[in-house]
Structure 1
């Protein structure tokens, strides 16, 4: 049930990817393999665009790295939480998409789980989100090759999904200062930063703010949870 919102977003978005992939006239199993081994929605859509213009491997590698560099910070954010997990922690890090990260952090804030229960929860959520994406991509490839469907407008499902997950995490978080910082950066970035570099520049600014003002930001939680009086 915890991953059901992701299912509602990944299925239509995966279908959109599969339909677009079918237009490349490549073997269907390459699309399935990309869903299994790459497992990054934005990265796979970028891959389609680059393959369509016959980009080289180096161009694809650099573009993919820049687009998906944010996942490195997701991994750093949960390292302390999963460091004592078993071998499954490596799969959790591999499958740490934007939406999976949001669900995991929301669960950590709302559910009181033992370390063993948390390990199972993290692993199952990551696994089912992966399955949803592969399923959606497979359906999309079939529809594109056999029925000639067009995916216009379906890609908005990911934006809607992440907005819902972000609001849920905001509501359940005890420290809302990082959200306000991100909101301010987003608004300012849309005005100041070039559209092609908006994501990376916003992330760099956010990291610098979190580093230089980490004590003040951390105090937001402390103020809401004062130590008990003797």
Structure 2
């Protein structure tokens, strides 16, 4: 691991650290509550590593769901990652064997950081992105294990803890809004999501909204790239 990249990535991942510890602890508590100890929490977070998917996994384990049901539900709840992956193809280019891990580790929060953060001067971008992914998963694993251990020894009420994930999204979104001057993608995402919510409802809005956003951004890519280049030139002159 490149220590320079790790040191540069750590401050960037602090919002994820706060959110993943809280959400990971909640997951560990839930998993221990149905009879699975910290060892299960550790290996689920190591090999599955999907926040909403793991929360669903607790319910599926508790109800002894069949493998077909598990596969279908997991596919539906994580289908959005197909869209995430398509937008990361260029950023993951040239990462060698690490590319497989980067694909695996592309959670919502890691995706948000990778898409909105640039490597500092003097730090290899590929090492920087890899460090972000490694740190984020380590936070999730730590939270899961802490939660499972705490659940085994303490009576803890987890009501409302899962809101930390929503709060984490808000923090990352605000930071990205303030760090860039081109707000069209964010406004487009908000508008498309709102329209999708009104047309198909909260339960079915995610996939249509994602595909419409990706299509719109592909159509506008030339314009957005041109504006970005212009802005960078203006910043250099200033």
1:210 aligns to what?
217
* Residues 1:78 and 2:91 are matched in the alignment: no
Shift of 1:122: 1.1
Extract structure 1 runs of 4+ deviating beyond 3 A.
111-114, 211-228
* Residues 1:92 and 2:99 are matched in the alignment: no
Shift of 1:213: 4.5
Determine if contact 1:35/1:137 at 8 Å carries over to the other structure.
yes
3-state SS of 2:91 partner: helix
Correspondence list, 1:104-123, <5 A:
104-108=114-118, 111-113=119-121, 117-123=124-130
Determine if contact 1:106/1:168 at 8 Å carries over to the other structure.
no
Q: Would the alpha carbon gap of residues 143 and 27 (structure 1) be closer, same or farther in structure 2, given more than 3 Å must change?
A: closer
Shift of 1:112: 4.4
Correspondence list, 1:115-194, <5 A:
117-194=124-201
Gaps of 5+ in 2: 1-10
Equivalents in 2 of 1:83, 1:208: separation in Å?
A: 22
Scaled by the length of structure 1, the TM-score of the pair is 0.87
Q: Would the alpha carbon gap of residues 218 and 10 (structure 1) be closer, same or farther in structure 2, given more than 3 Å must change?
A: same
Shift of 1:205: 2.3
Equivalents in 1 of 2:212, 2:39: separation in Å?
A: 40
Q: Deviations over 1:14-45 (max 9, x none)?
A: 00001111121134422221100011111101
Equivalents in 2 of 1:48, 1:16: separation in Å?
A: 11
Q: Deviations over 1:47-97 (max 9, x none)?
A: 112222222111111111121122222222222122112322221221111
When the two chains are superposed, the root-mean-square deviation of aligned CA atoms in Å is: 2.2
Scaled by the length of structure 2, the TM-score of the pair is 0.85
Equivalents in 2 of 1:146, 1:226: separation in Å?
A: 58
Q: Deviations over 1:145-189 (max 9, x none)?
A: 221312111111111111111221222234321111111122223
